[in-house]
Structure 1
């Protein structure tokens, strides 16, 4: 079982990654036009999974 401070830290990082993804959406769309992909979706997915694992049973 994960400790409460760890859970809070992972939750905060998860929320920040969502905000970062939303804020960088125009940049990501422009990069996509140039043939580059930003790994923001993977970041959000990984932090979401980490938060779910840290949640109490």
Structure 2
């Protein structure tokens, strides 16, 4: 039961981080022009790996 809840939570966080990354794309492009980088790719990759390991 706890494993199912853990996997469901990870999936929801993974999907939310992808949606957030898409919504923040204009901001990320502006930040990139300023010479900085947003860490959204690392967040999405870590959540995806955690979900794959839990499944």
Same fold (TM over 0.5): yes
The aligned counterpart of 2:50 is: 50
Kindly report structure 1 stretches of 4+ aligned residues shifted beyond 6 Å: none
Listed as ranges, the gaps of 5+ residues in structure 1 are none
Say yes or no: does 1:20 pair with 2:37.
no
The aligned counterpart of 1:37 is: 37
Q: Tell me the C-alpha RMSD between the 2 structures.
A: 1.0
With structure 1 as the length reference, what TM-score do the two structures score? Answer: 0.92
Q: Answer 1 or 2: which has greater helix percent.
A: 2
Listed as ranges, the gaps of 5+ residues in structure 2 are none
Distance in 1 (CA, whole Å) between partners of 2:46 and 2:3 is: 19
Give the length in aligned residue pairs.
54
Q: What's the CA shift for 1:54?
A: 0.7
